[in-house]
């Protein structure tokens, strides 16, 4: 969900307002994706590198995440959305962590859209932690090095049990993966649009899907 601050800069308004508009864009998209009947949507809300932003912006974002989550939980639950947060959640502020845990518990048995929010997420950290977990199991004698396969690695990631993404949509025009789901996106189709996140609406999502369905997907074969 890239481009909130550039959107605000273009409008000569406070950058924090860009994030507020970003929330509106996210709500619109979740409703749209739910109505289309898609099974999974994962959004990148805060990267492990985003802590390097100013204290004011970081505190604002933490407060915004908690507030939006508390305000939206009822509607999400009523619409059978199942929420899951992926990332180093133990490093999140304690009150936000509580709200996150509550949101995951409340929606755990929902059968509709599985909405995953990557927060304090970094793919290299995720892989490092997974490798450490596996190494510990080998050291304890529970596993042999030969038991380590792609399935075990996938199951050791935050995204355990979730299928690999089919399509990545990056708004804001940057041609990078930015430490996002590096293992999981080995065969993901990439779609980069210059549209800034607050302007990204259902029509842009549909354009991305239309392009995606017209592509011939390859998994390294013919
Ligand atoms: C990236 O744009 C956006 C963020 C770091 C924050 C994204 C958060 C939201 C859209 C709110 C979502 C709310 C919930 C509850 C998940 P940027 O700030 O990097 O903008 P730039 O690329 O123009 O600098």
What is the span of the domain harbouring residue 127?
Answer: 122-162
Q: In angstroms, what is the span from residue 152 Cα to ligand 1's centroid?
A: 32
pTM: 0.95
The CA-to-CA distance between both ends of the chain, in Å, stands at 33
In a domain, 171, yes or no: no
- Residue 197: the pLDDT is 98
Whole-number Å distance between alpha carbons of 129 and 90: 13
What are 142-176's pLDDT values in tens digits? 999 999 999 999 999 999 999 999 999 999 999 99
Residue 194 inside a domain? The answer is no
Q: Is residue 145 part of a domain?
A: yes
The fraction of the chain above a pLDDT of 90, given in percent, is: 96
Question: C-alpha 90: how far from its chain's center?
Answer: 17
Ligand 1 binding residues, C-beta < 6 A: 1-6, 19, 22-23, 26, 45-46, 50, 61, 65, 68-69, 117, 172
**5-55 pLDDT, tens per residue?**
999 999 999 999 999 999 999 999 999 999 999 999 999 999 999 999 999
Going by C-alpha positions, the residue among 129, 62, 74, 125 that lies closest to residue 98 is: 62
Q: Is residue 199 part of a domain?
A: no
Is 20 within a domain? no
With respect to residue 2, please indicate whether it lies within any of the assigned structural domains.
no
Residue 49 and residue 100: Cα distance in Å, rounded? 20
Q: Residue 196 pLDDT > 90, yes or no?
A: yes
Q: Once rounded to an integer, what is the mean pLDDT over residues 71-98?
A: 96
Please state the domain count of the chain.
1
Residue 65 domain flag: no
């Amino acid at each position: 969900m890239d481009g909130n601050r550039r959107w605000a800069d273009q409008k000569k308004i406070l950058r924090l307002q860009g994030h507020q508009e970003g929330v509106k864009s996210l709500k619109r998209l979740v409703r749209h994706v739910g109505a289309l009947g898609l099974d999974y949507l994962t959004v990148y809300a805060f990267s492990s590198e985003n802590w390097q932003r100013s204290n004011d912006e970081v505190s604002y974002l933490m407060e915004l995440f908690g507030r939006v989550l508390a305000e939206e939980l009822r509607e999400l639950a009523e619409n059978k959305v199942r929420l899951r947060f992926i990332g180093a959640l133990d490093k999140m502020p304690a009150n936000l962590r509580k709200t996150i845990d509550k949101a995951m518990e409340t929606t755990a048995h929902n059968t509709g859209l599985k909405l995953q929010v990557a927060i304090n997420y970094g793919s290299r950290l995720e892989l490092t932690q997974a490798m450490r977990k596996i190494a510990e199991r080998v050291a304890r004698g529970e596993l042999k090095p030969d038991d380590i396969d792609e399935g075990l690695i996938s199951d050791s990631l935050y995204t355990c049990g979730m299928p690999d993404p089919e399509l990545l949509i990056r708004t804001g025009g940057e041609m990078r993966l930015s430490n996002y789901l590096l293992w999981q996106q080995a065969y993901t189709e990439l779609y980069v649009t210059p549209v800034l996140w607050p302007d990204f609406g259902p029509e842009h999502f549909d354009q991305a899907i239309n392009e995606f369905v017209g592509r011939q997907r390859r998994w390294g074969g013919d």
